[in-house]
Chains A and B, each alone.
Chain A
Amino acid sequence: MDEKPLKKLSRRDMLKLSGTFFGGALLAGCAPATEAPAPVVQPTEKPAEPTAAPVTEAPVAKPVSGHVVVMHLLHEFTEDHVAAFQEANPDITVEVVDGQDATRFFAMYAAGSPPDVYRLQAPSIPGLLARKLLLDLTPYFEASQLIDIADLAPANDYYKAESPLEIGTGKIYGMCKDFSPDCTVFANTAHFEKAGLPAPDDTKTMSYTEIMDAAKKLTVFEGERMVQYGYGYDAAWIDRFWMNILAETGGSLYAAGYEKINLTGSEDAKAVAKWFYDLAVEQVTPSPKNPSPAGWFGNDFVGATASMAQYGFWFSAMAIGDANKDAVVMLPGPTWTGERRDPTVTATGAIMTSATQVPDAAWKVFEYYHAGQPSIERAGSGWGVPALKSQWSLIPQGTDFQKQAYKVLQGELELNTPPLQFNPFIGETVVSNAWNLYLDQALSGTITFDEMLTNIENDTNIAIKEGIDRIIP
């Protein structure tokens, strides 16, 4: 026999092997988090120019077939929806990739196979348009038997653009699944009564100063323990609120051309940021120092720990729980100057990607989801205002609260607030992340309020500059 006896591993050998193994594992940690191809790969798209967009040929009336990949939330675009669609369109198969995950979308795009239909929010649109990732759907909308362009609710203007810096009119790149004017405020009337405050009046618009005063009075401490706080808002949207409030003053969060954010150089911007900062300092809202007890201020409101919650109409579908039953009203969005505005700041919907190989089939899916049975189901659920005006009559008004919320909603919709122009050069969480990062330090006393603003401004401006360099060669 020429077999050699196997050498028995000593402890030292074992340790070396272990070291090698964990060294390998460590190395693996240095790989990029997504399976993106090497950046030297030749691009499949032409270099992006912020004013150009892909041209879509008019759809041809012919049998449509293909495999359509949709990146969407599975609890919204359900298996039942897919089955119903495929039954009606046997030549089209639909694959739903779960999530509204930008990283996954990037990875799929980089791999050369982006989803055909992608769920997103309005702030992403200018950036994706600047990179020429959106397909112009205007011909499809014009030829659609299901969607009448005149029936599109104004919030769909977020999906119209002449260019990345001219959102609101022009070619149509997608549409909302539903929307809400997002500045409305839900209030717990029992808390107001207990604090000795007048009952909130849904015919009157509160100012932000009044909101702050009420929030302070509604906040209750027992010893060090905060048992009730006055006001909750979504800090992930803080720049969107700033943009909206500054629009009331006639100003803008960004300088012309969107090449810089302007916080320290604008007294209005500083005052707006200070208002939100004071909410945290006064401990009347969740902050990095005093996080939301339930993990989310929406749940705090439902659990009667929060007295006011700034959310859109969609929240009316879940605002009432056992703890705040019969004590919830929806109030008009507050105002800074008296020039009322109440835009949707999310306009959640979908687009079709310019790289789609099956545009006609993808459009059939897109059209079905946004104007077919799924849209009718959504309209009747009360989770937001339907994207088609013809479906507004389906909004539930069975209970007193639903009627009250619907009445306030009508007033907000009548404001006809034009869409916010988001910055195409940065991701949608750049500003809010900087806010959270530096707010923590400011509340700890390691930096001042002014230094906090300077830091947010510097970080954002660096990100904008990088974005410009990446988008415009």
Chain B
Amino acid sequence: METGVTTKQLEQNESGKRTLTRNQRRTFTFYLFVSPWLIGFVLLGVFPLLVGLLTSFTNYDGLNLATVKFVGLGNYARAFEDPDVSFSLVRTILWGLANLPLWLVLSFLLALILNQDVKGRGLFRTIFYLPSLIPITAAVTAWRIILEKNFGMFNASISLFTPEPVAIGWLSDYSLPGMTSISIWGGLGIGMVIFLAGLQGIPEELKEAAQIDGANSWQVFRHVTLPLMTPVIFFQLVLGLIGSFQQLNLPLLVTKVGIAASSVPPRPIYLYMIHTYQQIFTNGRYGYGTALLWMLFIGILILTWIVFWSEKYWVYSGASERDN
């Protein structure tokens, strides 16, 4: 596509006024329409990123503009000596392993069930999607009431079947499964909707053809539905992977103790982003904190690349077959 404007490319209209060619007008219109986003991306995305990168090489604490010092790779080196970095990274990986597969499987199963032609499925879809519409703060507050150790409804229900009242710390000792439950409950709806969209894009003829060939329901699912859904699973996996490593709100909200400003999440959910948050907002280590964020970015980038690399082994792509 030609984009440059030269004298030769200018046409003259009837009044002798120079005007742009149709192609150039289209190019101009294209840039005109994308420019608001582009300007926003540069100013609100690229610029802060560069500031963040610069900050990671300094001892900036939010206020010391007058005494800020360049510390080279010191903040990055420090991360390798900080035992809480490795600890929180392990906890984050455990959180991802607990949350991501369970979320994928459950939301896919739910989508499969609600993709059936049953009466009232619209109502059920709405009901299952509702948790995704509730603000996370409100949702966690409600869950805290349910999972509270001494007076929570969940433990009270369990206590109906035990000789003595139990007090299981779902948000302290067992905060990882506790938080996973909240996360899956809240994320199931959005996961289901995306899987449903994928399921509805599968041509009925393919399923019917398989059934005519004698395939039973399981075989249709295994050899038709599942392969055609792998691009959606891939998409959800990438999305979930990134989200797992960036998780910050849930542990903070689960732990928030009254008006105290210094609540620290319990060790099972002391995630990488929590440690980063502590460094920046409690200790004023903006430089170190942004270095941790950049290290996380590189880590996620590598993981995402691995997932993309694995795509060719398990993600069905009709386009590539057609290309062949």
Contacts and interface: CB of A to CB of B under 8 A. Distances in A.
The 6 closest A-B pairs by CB, nearest first: A296-B258, A223-B164, A31-B48, A10-B319, A106-B62, A43-B66
A166 to B, nearest CB: 21
A440 B172 CA distance: 9
B166 A225 contact: yes
B45 interface: yes
Contacts of B171: 291
Nearest to B276: A33
23 contacts: A11-B318, A12-B317, A15-B234, A26-B301, A27-B297, A30-B290, A31-B49, A31-B51, A32-B286, A36-B60, A38-B51, A103-B62, A223-B165, A235-B260, A288-B264, A295-B257, A296-B257, A298-B259, A430-B283, A433-B282, A469-B59, A469-B67, A470-B64
Contact of B67 (A4, A48, A290, A429): A48
Interface stretch (B6-14, B149-157, B181-189): B149-157
Given A22-B238, A427-B284, A40 B54 contact: yes
Interface in B66-114: 66-69
Given A11-B231, A225-B159, A470-B67, A292 B257 contact: yes
A18 B165 contact: no
Interface of A: 2-4, 10-15, 18-19, 22-41, 43-48, 103, 106-107, 109-110, 131, 133, 222-227, 234-236, 286, 288-299, 305, 427, 429-430, 432-433, 435-437, 440-441, 444, 446, 463, 466-467, 469-473
Contact of A31 (B52, B235, B262): B52
A298 B62 contact: no
Nearest to A287: B172
B263 interface: yes
Contacts of B255: 291
B267 interface: yes
Nearest to A229: B150
B5 interface: no
Which of the four size classes fits the interface of chain B? 35 or more
B4 to A, nearest CB: 16
B62 A222 contact: no
Given A45-B66, A288-B172, A433-B262, A30 B155 contact: no
Contacts of A286: 257
B48 A47 contact: no
Nearest to A298: B258
B278 A30 contact: no
Given A224-B166, A224-B167, A235-B260, A30 B65 contact: no
Nearest to B151: A293
A38 B48 CA distance: 9
A243 B181 CA distance: 41
A32 B52 contact: yes
Contact of B60 (A31, A39, A289, A295): A39
Given A223-B166, A427-B282, A37 B51 contact: yes
B1 A36 contact: no
Contacts of B235: 15, 18
A430 B261 CA distance: 11
A471 to B, nearest CB: 7
Contact of B63 (A133, A227, A463): A133
Interface in B295-317: 296-297, 300-301, 304, 308, 311, 315, 317
A53 to B, nearest CB: 15
Given A10-B319, A11-B319, A30 B150 contact: no
B67 A47 contact: yes
Contacts of B60: 36, 39
B115 interface: no
Nearest to A109: B63
B222 to A, nearest CB: 20
B293 interface: yes
Interface string B136-161: 00000000100011110001000100
Contact of B68 (A26, A39, A235): A39
B257 A35 contact: no
A23 B304 contact: yes
B45 A24 contact: yes
Contacts of A26: 242, 246, 297, 300-301, 304
Contacts of A15: 231, 234-235, 311, 315
Given A40-B54, A295-B144, A299-B258, A470 B61 contact: yes
B49 to A, nearest CB: 5
Interface string B16-56: 00000011001000000000000001000100111111110
Contacts of A109: 63
Given A222-B164, A289-B169, A30 B280 contact: no
B300 to A, nearest CB: 6
A36 B172 contact: no
Nearest to A100: B261
B124 interface: no
Nearest to B234: A15
B258 A131 contact: no
A28 B165 contact: no
Interface in B268-283: 278, 280-283
B262 A429 contact: yes
B206 interface: no
B164 A473 contact: no
Given A29-B297, A36-B55, A430-B283, A41 B67 contact: no
A427 to B, nearest CB: 6
A432 B257 CA distance: 13
B262 A225 contact: no
A48 B66 contact: yes
A96 to B, nearest CB: 21
A146 to B, nearest CB: 31
Nearest to B287: A39
Contact of B267 (A23, A30, A433, A440): A440
| Residue of A32, A44, A472 with highest tally of chain B CB at under 10 A | A32
Contacts of B260: 234-236, 296, 432
Nearest to B201: A11
Given A429-B262, A433-B262, 9 more contacts: A26-B242, A31-B52, A37-B51, A106-B62, A236-B261, A290-B149, A297-B258, A466-B61, A470-B63
Contacts of A29: 246, 293, 296-297
Contact of A466 (B59, B165, B259, B294): B59
B209 interface: no
A103 to B, nearest CB: 6
B165 A444 contact: no
A166 B263 CA distance: 30
A291 B149 contact: yes
B131 interface: no
Contacts of B23: 2
A44 B68 CA distance: 13
| Residue of B59, B150, B301 with highest tally of chain A CB at under 10 A | B150
B155 A225 contact: yes
A19 B172 contact: no
Nearest to B228: A11
Nearest to B61: A470
Given A2-B22, A131-B63, A429-B262, A222 B148 contact: no
